[in-house]
Every structure is written in C-alpha cells, then in structure tokens.
Structure 1
Amino acid sequence: MPTDNLPTEKLDIGWRRPVTDAELVELTTSHGGNAEPGWWDRIRNHSLGWVTARSESGHLLGFVNVAWDGGDHAFLIDTKTRPSHQRGGLGTAVVRRAVEETRAAGCEWVFVDFEPHLEQFYLESCGFRPTAAGLIHLTDE
C-alpha cells in the first residue's frame, strides 16, 4: 500500500483495535461532523471490524467502520480523518486496510455510499467503481 503522502510521523493503522465512543465523538466533531455520544457503543457489535489510525502518542487520527450482512456483503461507513491529516493519504490508507481485512474475512463485495464531493477520494484514490443504487431518506416528509 503506497503511503508516500502520509505525514512524516509514525502511524499505527490497525484492525479491530480498541477505540472508545468518546474518541470517535471527538474525531467526528474535529471536522465539523455531528456525533451523538453512545453511537459507537450501540453499533460496534454490528461491525465486521473497523480500522483506526493513531499517532505515536496514541491520538486517534482516522477511522472507518465496516458493517456487514453476516455473509458476502460489507459496507464502509463513518470514514473519518482528522482535518490536520486530510489530503495526505491517511484516509486512503485507512480505507485500503479496511478493504484488505474485509477480503480476508471472506466477503465478496464491499460497498460505500458517498456525497458527490467525495467521488475523487473513493473512486480514484481508493479504487471503488461507480454503481447504480437507490436511497430512501426515512426522515423526509
């Protein structure tokens, strides 16, 4: 996995390593996202796994969760990178590790949904291909 653009500090990118709800809330709010305390504690058991990226000091810099259907299909959700480490290859490295681990777990497919401004990241940097999909926003009236 090329990491030429990663920050010069030593990073620990790990699969299913401990991460707390408070750390994920803080990471989410660091880039302007909305985070509800307790969400990670509620959904962790529905995950195939997750990837964390930490600095040498242990500070959480990146994260992605891999949900799954218990069979062949996995779904990347909650991809997050601390603003100080965006556009340097860390997000790509975290997603690639998630894809590798999902393949190793025996899944055949990994899906990701994203907003249009993230198309270059997921399609060009991470290697996903576009597909047709449908969506119903359940809170729309």
Structure 2
Amino acid sequence: MTDPAVLVVRPALSDAAMAELFAAAWGGSGDTRWAPILARSLTWLAAYREGRLVGFVNVVGDGGRHAFVLDTTVHPDEQRGGLGTRLVRAAAGQARAADVEWLHVDYEAHLTGFYTRCGFRPTAAGLLNLR
C-alpha cells in the first residue's frame, strides 16, 4: 500500500508548483499569483507525495465567525483515493482551531457527494457573477 500524501499547513508555495497542479487538475495556463491571495487567507493546506505538490485547499475568513473553503484541488493521479476529503477535513480542523463557527463552501451539484462526505450539508445560497 502506498503511503498517504503528507499534509502541510501554510507551506510556502511557488506560483510554478501551483500552476502545475491547477493545470493538471483543471486545465488552462495557471498564471495566478498566489502570494497576494494567501496573504489574505485564514489558512491553507497542501498535500505532497515524494516532494511533489499533489493537493491544495484554501480557507478565507471574514475575521469573525465565518470562513469559506476555496480552490480544493487534487492532482488527477491522486483523485478518488481520499486525499481531497483529508484536505477539506484538515482545513475544517484548522478553521475550528481559529475559532470559526461556520465553514461555508460553494460547489457544483456533481460535487454534493464529495462535500457531504467531508461533513457539509447542502444549503440554499446565491451567487452573482461579476465578470
């Protein structure tokens, strides 16, 4: 059995490593600059296997009772093995430790099962596209 990926809280992340992960998982160029995003985050977690970034999740907060899970991403070679669930549950633990009361996540309908396994329950919400 393969050893589980190692989860690291708030590691330094290069734009190149993040671009590689996001391109593999989502396609596209992955030209996001992560330092300004992470500077505003409550916390983030990364997953590594043999030194390679294979997973990521970001948690942003309002400075009070609410925080949001963003950018949950797992490399395709690692999907369907529980890594995403581990990342989201660890992020929830970090948010709890920061005294967050409500952890929110938005997702597409086909991800309902995944987020239910992570402990979330569906709620009605609104979304406004500003672009």
CA distance in 1, matches of 2:56, 2:27: 14
Distance 1:35 1:103, change over 3 A: farther
SS at structure 2 position matched to 1:18: coil
Q: Percent identity?
A: 47
Q: How far off its partner does 1:110 sit?
A: 0.6
Output the amino acid matched with 1:26.
Answer: E
Does residue 45 of structure 2 align to residue 43 of structure 1?
no
Instruction: Report the aligned-residue RMSD.
Output: 1.4
Secondary structure at the residue paired with 2:111? helix
Q: Distance in 2 between matches of 1:138 and 1:34?
A: 21
Once the two structures are TM-superposed, the CA of residue 116 in structure 1 deviates from its matched residue by 1.1
**1:22 CA displacement:** 1.3
CA contact (8 A) 2:5 2:83 kept: no
2:128 to 127, 133, 136: 136
5+ residue gaps, structure 2: none
How far off is 1:37 after superposition? 2.2
1:15 is aligned to 2:9? yes
Aligned residue for 2:128, secondary structure, equals coil
**Count of residues in Structure 1 that have an aligned counterpart in Structure 2:** 131
**Letter in structure 2 aligned against 1:39:** R
Whose relative contact order is higher, 1 or 2, with alpha carbons under 8 Å and at least 6 apart? 1
Rate the CA distance shift 1:35–1:132 in 2: closer, same or farther, 3 A.
farther
Deviation at 1:35, TM superposition (A): 5.0
Aligned residue among 73, 76, 90 for 1:97: 90
TM-score by length of 2: 0.93
Shift of 1:81: 0.1
Q: 2:61 aligns with which of 63, 68, 81?
A: 68
- Residue 81 of structure 2 is aligned with which of 84, 88, 96? 88
Q: Distance in 2 between matches of 1:104 and 1:8?
A: 30
Residue 4 of structure 1 corresponds to which residue in structure 2?
none
Matched residue, 2:104: 111
Q: For residue 53 of structure 1, what is the aligned residue in structure 2? A: 47
Change in 2 beyond 3 A, CA 1:35/1:51: farther
> Alpha-carbon deviation of 1:10?
4.1
Unaligned runs of 5+ in 1: 1-6
1:45–1:82 distance in 2 versus 1, CA, 3 Å: same
Q: Are the structure 2 counterparts of residues 34 and 68 from structure 1 closer, same or farther at C-alpha, using a change threshold of 3 Å?
A: farther
Amino acid at match of 2:80: R
